[in-house]
Chains A and B, each alone.
Chain A
């Protein structure tokens, strides 16, 4: 049975023309696809254009050339069919947790009662019941990202784009957040495109991983993560297959990181 494709991009280029200096190619001839209900990670050394690609997928940046579409419709601008979670904290500091989540429903077609229900459900899903009336400044970094996840899911987008959402968190919180996301995803089964530079994070969460090259960003390899689900942090990471895959991906990333490292030190 052929799976339905959610997001597809073909021969996508992104060039930046700075005021001074020569043109920078951030993304070079990138083609990939994400299937419906699939969790796909995009991994690569920093500066490889993976975040730029996510911005293009979100419709917040335009590609210089090439095709990118969701459900067969070319992406022209940002829209509520794609939810996004950023690395930096993007909660509205003047709104409480509850109001932040509800804010995302401003343009939705849900009735008022449904809205209340959804807000409550997603706050519960990320484990923040009891914090509904708290302001973002009163929350820890991990809690803020949980609100951001709830807020990105509450309006029922077709897919979720995540740009290193746990990148700013400390190591312990990060592990807990990965588990939480794993749980949420098992329940929601929403299509996810996840950008990270953390190999273990990508392996734990994803069905498939695209490894990108150093700048200009291209697809270096596609890795199918054939680890059984449901996964758990402790058991999955201890399995021999996980260790094998990690070595494989790490080696690819290391080569690319070295390339960009030596390019920078020149």
Chain B
């Protein structure tokens, strides 16, 4: 909702070009907005370089950025990075899809029918307070340390939150939108598919974006504990050999991948739901 309004203040600002960056809740030029973001990351890397260049921190604990970059180069060259990334991305995709495949219909049922809300909510409320991480030992007993165990952890970590969020997405559809559809003679299934789901979809898409972010956390935790491949496994192995640069690289890669998926969902959101935009 960044709607430029033609207020007296805006007109005044145009006549006097002095920049006000610290006015409460006031727009600033987009170039400055972008620049300060980049500058902060730059400052962070500079501080990191400073700490390591003068060996203020032992390289065993904090390697120089250049060391991390060298490690990146090595892992890319040997194909290890690609292997780890593709394995982790595969696990995320399958695990999250499995959770979503169940969360979507059940969430829709719960949001629309009090009967299903009454049926599932007490159970889901109970399970969702059980930390997914605590299920790691149990799931290893059930499914070993392979992909299946990762899928189960991702499912437990994602499903129970996601289903409630989708229920809420469905519930935010305005009542009048449903009522007016009935006056056109639509039956309740038509209202459900043509109105409620269409209306709830942007919210659901956002839920997807948020839950896939959580899935990353659960995956890495599962891979840290027991795995024979993947980004979390690489980090755990590196710790054994005091390979701090590989640890930091692993964390950075996970961060970048998370950011990428987030961006992907945001871009598709803007594409799919262009009608949400209130600018002409």
Contact = CB atoms under 8 A, between A and B. Distances in A.
A88 to B, nearest CB: 5
Nearest to A161: B183
B183 A58 contact: yes
Interface residues of B, number: 22
Q: Find the residue from B179, B183, B190 having the highest chain A CB count within 10 A.
A: B183
Interface in B248-280: 273, 275-280
Contact of A80 (B184, B194, B195, B273): B184
Contacts of A58: 179, 183
Interface residues of A, number: 30
Contacts of A137: 275-278
A138 interface: yes
Interface in A101-123: 103-104, 106-108
B57 interface: no
B183 A78 contact: yes
A25 interface: no
B198 to A, nearest CB: 6
A93 B179 contact: no
Contacts of B179: 55, 58, 60, 78, 84, 86, 90
A136 B275 CA distance: 8
Interface in B86-135: none
A143 to B, nearest CB: 12
Contacts of B280: 134, 138
B180 A93 contact: no
Interface of B: 174, 176-177, 179-180, 182-186, 190, 194-195, 198-199, 273, 275-280
14 contacts: A58-B183, A60-B182, A78-B179, A78-B182, A78-B183, A80-B183, A80-B184, A80-B185, A84-B179, A86-B176, A92-B177, A92-B199, A93-B275, A108-B185
Given A103-B194, A155-B184, 9 more contacts: A58-B179, A78-B182, A78-B183, A78-B185, A80-B183, A90-B174, A93-B275, A135-B275, A137-B277
